[in-house]
Amino acid sequence: MNGSEILVVEDEPAIQELIAVNLEHAGHRVRRAYNVAEAENLIREIRPDLILLDWMLPDVAGTVLARRLRADARMKDIPVIMLTARAQETDKVEGLEAGADDYITKPFSPKELMARIKAVLRRRAPQLTDDAIEIGGLRLDPASHRVSGNGTEISLGPTEFKLLHFFLTHPERVYSRVQLLDQVWGDHVFVEERTVDVHIRRLRQALEATQHDSLIETVRGTGYRLHA
Ligand code: CA
């Protein structure tokens, strides 16, 4: 499970450093913010794959940021794990009610943090995990970076691979071009929506060999969906 871009929002430099070092060691890319204002600027800019969010921050409480993210159509799917020294059960409930996906009480071990991140990604962003997935005979294995249709190997470019991985982990749901840009391209300020159509076309062409191209449906006026 490598290469996720994780934003660490934590105002205590020593804790921030400890978390960042461990995340980088595990192969993640780390961005850092010391308060909610900095975090919000970065979130708009990079749309991170996951946010580790301290509760007690110098400007606004972490729970306020969690609520704002959940109310934002473009950001509501970003997984959030709250970090806190507040161990009360009522605090935990408040954190989860604010929209956090999980809650870790300080002090925590790096091992526990990594396990929680893995579990949250598996649940909320399976396209970022290394779990192999198969639908209708079409199989994708992120670990070996291989795709096959009914056992026949299919060759895909890197973007088509990511696109197919996202569809396979989110079947039956329609995604607009902008949503696909957010989810598959990530930071896409300079990418046009038409680019999505180009890569969908390439993906379908590659899947034609095993007749899996019909899995990727165009939903008129809305976007695309994988329909099993
Ligand atoms: Ca703090």
How much is the average pLDDT of 198-220? 97
Q: What is the pLDDT of residue 119?
A: 93
Question: With bands split at pLDDT 50, 70 and 90, how would you rate the model's confidence at 182?
Answer: confident
Distance of alpha carbon 45 from alpha carbon 156, whole angstroms: 29
C-beta separation of 47 from 186 below 8 A: yes
Is a pLDDT exceeding 60 seen at residue 98? yes
Regarding whether 122 and 11 lie in a shared domain, the answer is: yes
Distance of alpha carbon 12 from alpha carbon 160, whole angstroms: 40
Q: What is the pLDDT of residue 92?
A: 82
Q: What is the pLDDT of residue 116?
A: 94
pLDDT in tens, 161-174: 999 999 999 999 99
Q: What is the pLDDT of residue 189?
A: 67
Regarding whether 190 and 148 lie in a shared domain, the answer is: yes
Identify any residues that bridge with 207 across adjacent strands, giving them in sequence order: none
82 CA → ligand 1 middle, Å: 11
86 CA → ligand 1 middle, Å: 11
Is a pLDDT exceeding 60 seen at residue 203? yes
Regarding whether 21 and 124 lie in a shared domain, the answer is: yes
Residues around ligand 1, an ion, CB closer than 5 A: 11, 54, 56
Question: With bands split at pLDDT 50, 70 and 90, how would you rate the model's confidence at 183?
Answer: confident
Which of 61, 96, 128 is where one domain is finished? 128
Cα 196 to Cα 91, 164, 172, 173, 192: the distances in Å are 42, 12, 18, 16, 8
32 CA → ligand 1 middle, Å: 13
Regarding whether 137 and 124 lie in a shared domain, the answer is: no
9 CA → ligand 1 middle, Å: 9
Q: What is the pLDDT of residue 117?
A: 94
How many distinct structural domains can be found in the chain? 2
Regarding whether 208 and 117 lie in a shared domain, the answer is: no
Residue span of the structural domain in which 59 resides? 5-128
107 CA → ligand 1 middle, Å: 12
174 CA → ligand 1 middle, Å: 39
54 CA → ligand 1 middle, Å: 6
Q: What is the pLDDT of residue 1?
A: 42
CATH code: domain of residue 201? 1.10.10.10
Regarding whether 104 and 17 lie in a shared domain, the answer is: yes
How much is the average pLDDT of 53-67? 95
Regarding whether 112 and 147 lie in a shared domain, the answer is: no
Between 92 and 71, name the one with better pLDDT: 71
Regarding whether 77 and 102 lie in a shared domain, the answer is: yes
Question: With bands split at pLDDT 50, 70 and 90, how would you rate the model's confidence at 95?
Answer: confident
- Residue 225 corresponds to which tokens in the numbers above? 């969906």
13 CA → ligand 1 middle, Å: 10
C-beta separation of 31 from 7 below 8 A: yes
Regarding whether 61 and 104 lie in a shared domain, the answer is: yes
Which of 128, 163, 193 is where one domain is finished? 128
Between 93 and 156, name the one with better pLDDT: 156
pLDDT in tens, 127-136: 888 889 999 9
Burial class (CB in 10 A: 0-12, 13-18, 19+), 148: middle
Regarding whether 122 and 141 lie in a shared domain, the answer is: no
Regarding whether 23 and 9 lie in a shared domain, the answer is: yes
Regarding whether 104 and 161 lie in a shared domain, the answer is: no
| Residues 6 or more apart in contact with residue 88 via CB below 8 angstroms | none
CATH code: domain of residue 84? 3.40.50.2300
Which of 128, 157, 174 is where one domain is finished? 128
